[in-house]
Amino acid sequence: MHKIEHIGIAVKDLASANELYTKLFGQAPYKIEEVASEGVKTSFFKSGPNKIELLEATNADSPIAKFIEKRGEGIHHIAFEVTNIVTEVDRLKSNGFIVLNEQPKKGADNKLIVFLHPKSTNGVLIELCQEIS
């Protein structure tokens, strides 16, 4: 893993959260997109070299809707950049980590993604991200 790619924050209302974070960072999100397969609409902000992803559920069955219902708004996951997601998943599985999706899938911001179960990461949902070439 190279670096923290972004921190994901679950929000109830993306439009109002975008207004709040625009005021916080002094700039609008650089990207807003929907990932239908995940039932989520996202926006991305940059703060120096760091990125924040805001996530709003687009349906009641999405992981974000369930997260907010259970825990409320707040930090949802930490994403780490990797060079080869398949190799990294194999390495982590061999070290006892529980992978939520065996096959990388297309996520937001032009990334392939895989999630690690919080049960194997001290309660933190970890996302692995590889840039799609």
DSSP 44-69: EEEETTEEEEEEEESSTTSHHHHHHH
43 pLDDT band, cuts 50/70/90, is very high
Element (H, E) at 127: strand 126-131
The tens digit of pLDDT for each residue in 45-90 reads 999 899 999 999 999 999 999 999 999 999 999 999 999 999 999 9
Model confidence at 102, pLDDT cuts 50, 70, 90, reads confident
With 90 as the cut, is the pLDDT of residue 1 above it?
no
Determine the pLDDT at residue 23. Answer: 97
Give Rg (Cα) of the chain: 14
**Rounded to 5, what percent of the chain is helix, strand, coil?**
30, 40, 35
pLDDT of residue 111: 94
131 backbone φψ class: left, alpha, beta (φ>0; ψ -120 to 50): beta
SS3 76: strand
- In the numeric block, the tokens 């990461």 are attached to 121
Residue 133 pLDDT exceeds 90:
no
Q: How confident is the model at residue 110 (pLDDT cuts 50, 70, 90)?
A: very high
Residue 2 confidence (pLDDT): 85
Q: What does the pLDDT look like over 11-23, one tens digit per residue? A: 999 999 999 999 9
